[in-house]
Chain A
Amino acid sequence: MAASRDEVIAPPSKASLRDDSRVASNGLTIDALVAQHYGFIWRVLRGLGLSSADAEDATQQVFMIAARKLDTIDPDRARSFVYGAALRVAHNARRGLRRRREVLEDELPEEPEPEARGPEKMAELDQARRLLAQVLDRLEEKHRRVIVLAEIEQLEVPEIAVLEGVPVGTAASRLRVAREKFRAALHAMRDQNPFGDEP
C-alpha cells in the first residue's frame, strides 16, 4: 500500500488547472495566446540562437510575461507583444549563455529529438540546424531577426515591418541586405553542407 512520493505528489493535473483560465478585460485568454503563438515564439527563439531547452524555458517566460500583462495587450497586436517580449527574453538568455560558455567552453549536447526518422536523417537535420545557427550567428542582430521571420516563419514584409516596428520600406531593404549577407556567410561555410551534395 505504501506509495512513493512521486506517486502521491504529482504535478497539478490538467483538470485541476482548467478553471484557472481567465478572460482578460480585452477578451484575451492566456490559453488562446499560447495556442496561437507558442510555436512561433519557440522557433523565433531557436532562430535567435537558443538551444532547444533554453528556447523552451525562454518561451515559457514570454508567456508568463504575457499572462501578467494580459489586460494591457491590444488583441490586434498580440503577436507583436509576444515577439517583443521574446526578443528581450532572448537577449537576457543569450547574455547568460555567454557567461556560462566562459565557464564550460563547450555547450552540452542537445537532447535528441523525438522525430520518427532514421538516425542518418536525424543526424543530417541536426547538422543542418547547427550550420544554420552558425551562419545566422555571423549576421547582425537586426538582419538575423528579419531573416528568421521571413525564411523560417515565412512572413511577408508588411508583417515583418509590424513586428519590427519599422516602415515597410525599411523592412524590405533590411531583408534584402540580410539575404545578401546570409548568402555570403553560407557560401563561406559551404564545405559544412550536411546534405552531401556540392553547393
Chain B
Amino acid sequence: MTPDPIDQLGARLFESARNEAIPSGAEQRALEAARLEVGQKPREIMHLSQGRTWLAAGACLALAATVALLLRPKDASVGISAEPSTLAHARPEPRTAPSAAPRSASSATSNDAPPVAPSLAVTVKPMPSLQPMPLPPAPASLSDELSALKVASSALSAGDPKAALAALDRYDRVLKGQKLRAEATLLKIEALSRAGQTQAASTLAQRFVEQNPGSPLVDRARSFVVQ
C-alpha cells in the first residue's frame, strides 16, 4: 500500500522541525542567565538575549555615572572630571586655602565644571542630604558591575586613569563586585600603569597571572609585568 502523499509531506515537515539547529551558544546563554537568577533578585535586563543585554546595560551607564559622582572619594585628585558644584558643599572637610591647592593633572578635563566659590568652600557645612550614599545591602547585579566598569573603561579611554581608579575603587568598595572581578583587575592594572604607577601595576599583574592561570585575560595581564 502506497503511503499517502500528504502524510509523507507532513512527515518531512516535522522532520525539518526536528532537525532545526538551535542558535549557537543559546543554551549556554540561558544557563548563565539562569545561574545568575539563582543568586540574585530577578532583573528585567536578564530577560534578554546576549546582544540585547549589552544594549540594555549601556542604558544603565548614565545612572552608574551619577552614582559614581556621588560616591567619589573626598580627594579631588582622583575624582571623576565632571564635578557638580553642589558636591563641594557636601565635603565633610572644607578646604581652608583653595587657591593654594592646584588642580591635579587628572582634573584638567573638568574645566567645564563651574568653579567652587572659595567662601562657600570654607564656611558651608556638609548637608546631610548630600552625604555619600549608604552601601547597598543587596549584592550588585551584573548590570551594576558592568556599568561601573564601563565608567572606568571610559575614563581610561579619555586619558584619565585616576578617574578610572576611582571608579574601580567604587567597584571594590561599594559594589563589592565579584562577577566581573577579573575584568576589573585588568582595568586596574592598566589604569595604574597609565597613571605612572608601573611597579604597582606590575605587582598586581603578576598576582593576577599567578591566581588566574587559565583566564583568557592572562596574556594581557602578563604584558604589564615588569621583568
From A43, A113, A154, A187, B6 is in contact (CB under 8 Å) with A187
* CB within 8 Å for A16 and B7 given contacts A46-B17, A57-B49, A66-B34: no
- B220 in contact (CB, < 8 A): yes
The answer to whether B27 and A34 touch across the interface, beta carbons within 8 angstroms, is yes
Whether B30 contacts A63 by the Cβ 8 Å rule is: yes
CB contact list, A1-46 vs B, under 8 A = 1-3, 5, 7-17, 20-22, 30-31, 33-35, 38-39, 42-43, 46
Q: Which of A163-189 contact B (CB under 8 A)?
A: 182-183, 186-187
Kindly state whether residue A70 has any CB partner on chain B within 8 Å: yes
Q: Is A60 touching B35 in the complex (CB atoms < 8 A)?
A: no
Is A190 located at the chain interface by the 8 A CB criterion? Answer: yes
Question: Is B5 within 8 A of A60, CB to CB?
Answer: no
Q: Which residue of A lies closest to B47 (CB)?
A: A61
Q: Of residues 1 to 53 in B, which have CB atoms within 8 Å of A's CB atoms?
A: 5-10, 12-14, 16-24, 26-39, 42, 46-50, 52
Question: Which residue among A12, A17, A59, A151 has the maximum number of chain B CB atoms within 10 Å of its CB?
Answer: A12
Q: What are the interface flags for A89-118 relative to B under an 8 Å C-beta threshold, 1 for contact and 0 otherwise?
A: 000000000000000000000010111000
Interface centre among B7, B27, B181, B215 (most CB of A within 10 A): B27
On whether the beta carbons of B179 and A12 are closer than 8 Å, the reply is yes
Residue B128 is within 8 A (CB to CB) of chain A in the complex: no
Contact between chains at B6 and A186 (CB < 8 Å): yes
Could you say which residues of chain B place their CB within 8 Å of the CB of A195? 9, 12
Contact A1 B190 (CB under 8 A): yes
B214 at the A interface (CB under 8 A): yes
Whether the Cβ atoms of B46 and A114 lie closer than 8 Å is no
Residues of B within 8 A of A57 (CB): 47-49, 52
User: Mask for A114-134, Cβ within 8 A of B = 1, else 0?
Assistant: 110000000001001101100
- The answer to the question of A162 belonging to the interface, with a C-beta cut-off of 8 Å to chain B, is no
Q: Which residue of A lies closest to B16 (CB)?
A: A128
Interfacial chain A residues near B216, Cβ < 8 Å: 10, 13
CB distance from A196 to the nearest CB of B (A): 11
Say yes or no: is B149 at the interface (Cβ < 8 Å to chain A): yes
Beyond A8-B153, A64-B46, whether A30 also contacts B24 by CB under 8 A is no
Contact check, B10 vs A131: say whether CB atoms are below 8 A apart: no
Alpha-carbon distance between A31 and B36 when the two chains are bound, in angstroms: 12
Min Cβ gap B214→A in Å is 6
Given contacts A11-B50, A68-B42, contact A56 B26 (CB under 8 A): yes
The size bracket of the interface on B is: 35 or more
Contact indicator A183/B10 (Cβ below 8 Å): yes
Number of interface residues of A (CB under 8 A): 65
Residue of B7, B30, B193 with highest tally of chain A CB at under 10 A: B30
* B78 interfacial contact with A, CB 8 Å: no
B17:A5 contact, CB within 8 angstroms: no
Could you tell me if B26 and A42 are in contact, using CB atoms closer than 8 angstroms? yes
Query: Is the CB of B55 closer than 8 A to any CB of chain A?
Result: no
Structural contact, A9 and B9, CB atoms closer than 8 A? no
Alpha-carbon distance between A52 and B23 when the two chains are bound, in angstroms: 7
Out of B14, B20, B28, B29, which one reaches A113, CB within 8 Å? Answer: B20
Give bound CA distance, A38 to B36, whole Å.
Answer: 17
Q: Measured between C-beta atoms, what is the minimum distance from A26 to chain B in Å?
A: 14
Q: Is the CB–CB distance between B16 and A129 below 8 Å? A: yes
Q: Which of B's residues lie within 8 Å of A, judged by CB? A: 5-10, 12-14, 16-24, 26-39, 42, 46-50, 52, 54, 142, 146, 149-150, 153-154, 156-157, 179-183, 186-187, 190, 193, 214-217, 220, 223
In the assembled complex, 6 residue pairs joining A and B whose CB atoms fall closer than 8 Å, in A order, are A11-B50, A16-B181, A21-B35, A47-B17, A57-B49, A125-B19
Taking beta carbons and an 8 Å cutoff, which residues of A are in contact with B? 1-3, 5, 7-17, 20-22, 30-31, 33-35, 38-39, 42-43, 46-47, 52-53, 56-57, 59-61, 63-64, 66-68, 70, 111, 113-115, 125, 128-129, 131-132, 135, 151-152, 154, 182-183, 186-187, 190, 193, 195, 197-199
